[in-house]
Amino acid sequence: MKVGLLGHGVVGSGVRTIIDEGATWEVRELEVTAILVKDETEMTDPRTTLNADDIINDPEIQVVAECMGGLEPAHTYAKRALQAGKHVVTSNKKMLATFCGDLFDTARENGVTIHYEASCGGGIPWMASLDRTRRVDDIVSFRGIFNGTTNYILERMFHENRDFADMLKEAQKLGYAEQDPTDDIDGYDVRYKVALSCAKAFDAIVDAEKILTYGIRNITAQDLQFCRDSGYACKLMGKGEWHTDYISAMVIPVFLHADDVFANIPLNFNAIESNSKTLGSAAFVGQGAGSLPTAHAVVQNVIDIWKDQDSEINPKTRVPIDNQFHQGIYYIRTVKDALLASITDQRVGDHAILTKKISVLEAENAIRTLADQDLFIAEVAE
């Protein structure tokens, strides 16, 4: 089966390598016949082109693998490929989470599907497992460490007292970080992955912008010291919960008990857990970022299409996000801590508090009024 590649960066070059090397009989059934690159400096392979039409209009290409990243032109090319009757596989969570309503509809109208295993959890077969689970059971919730860059930064800061900025640079060098690493450290990358996990786990299209999102940009040694001294580990977590009429979903640093299975997930690894009635908890750990692990997930989707083991049914129902009933205890560090008296349960050293058990929206409303650019918030496991 002939595959057209859109993008030849970290993920795209990994897809080309895996397919060209053809380590298994299934992979040897695939062939990358055209590769869209950004400019002439990337035209290092006879299959490269600067014109997306060479892929979208090629009747021999059945699958387009979109690994460009960013919103445009990735969205337009993916849409045109679907309209041309080609299946689309994408690793681009930002693009798909932003345009999933439009792209899922376009796929359905054209009798093709859009696959996105690689968009979430890197090489971990998370989406495939959600599909399998849902053949038997309704998924009620999921939670996970969805971002390799921030897990790498937090791990090394926590265990080695390393500096935030240096660790971010290392994560970029290792190819984990997004083109714009603010998407990683401010939690937006996880927000997109949570939105796409809602699509798969709950068969629901959600508005990614409504997912409450906090990142780790402002975390300091003081925060990590409290975390360590209290027997916790700090992880940036994404979560989703099904409530029939609405979905509760957020991205937030969490101080996890040291014996939580997610407390010791190392470096760029991701770990994600689903909960469903008959299966209970099922957790997956693996490489969440990087060229070959992510490319592995793209190639898996291409093989699913080739084998016609395409269980993909893209969702069409829109479900609202609502976090008003999500309650927790929150660690909040801000120089304006005196203004948080009404939600404070106890003080933690200088300028940090632990809240009473409150709704996450109550915490959000309280901190929004402070307008403190350096504030850090984490949920504290009970």
| Residues acting as catalytic residues | 193
The most distant pair of C-alpha atoms in the chain lies apart, rounded to whole Å, by 66
Return the DSSP state at 244.
S
148 binds ligand HSE (CB under 6 A): yes
Stretch in the footprint of ligand HSE (CB under 6 A) among 128-136, 172-180, 273-281, 300-308: 172-180
Residue closer to ligand HSE (CB basis): 290 or 328 = 290
Rg (CA), the chain: 21
Minimal CA–CA distance to 200: which of 144, 142, 271, 251? 142
Choose the binding region for ligand HSE from 67-75, 175-183, 307-315, 364-372 (rule: CB under 6 A): 175-183
**Under rule CB under 6 A, residue 187 binds ligand HSE:** no
Map residue 275 onto helix, strand or coil: strand
What is the spatial distance between Cα 129 and Cα 288, in angstroms, rounded to a whole number?
15
The single residue among 104, 176, 242, 331 that binds ligand HSE, judged by CB under 6 A, is: 176
Which lies closer to ligand HSE via its Cβ, residue 144 or residue 328?
A: 144
Using the rule CB under 6 A, which residue among 184, 312, 337, 379 binds ligand HSE? Answer: 184
Q: List the Cα angle 92/74/172 in 5-degree steps.
A: 45
How far is Cα 239 from Cα 142, in angstroms, rounded to an integer?
A: 6
How many residues line the site for ligand HSE (CB under 6 A)? Answer: 11
Using an 8 Å Cβ cutoff, are 151 and 248 in contact? Answer: no
- Of the candidate spans 16-24, 176-184, 197-205, 258-266, the one that interacts with ligand HSE by CB under 6 A turns out to be 176-184
Cβ-closest position to ligand HSE: 149
* Nearer Cβ to ligand HSE (256/295): 295
Within 10 angstroms of residue 260's Cβ, the number of other Cβ atoms is 15
Going residue by residue from 88 to 127, which x/- string records binding to ligand HSE, judged by CB under 6 A?
A: ----------------------------------x-----
Q: Which residues, numbered 279-308, are part of the site for ligand HSE (CB under 6 A)? A: 288-289
> Rounded to whole angstroms, how far apart are CA atoms 104 and 112?
9
Burial class (CB in 10 A: 0-12, 13-18, 19+), 214: buried
Q: Can you give the binding site for ligand HSE, defined by CB under 6 A?
A: 122, 147-149, 176-178, 184, 189, 288-289
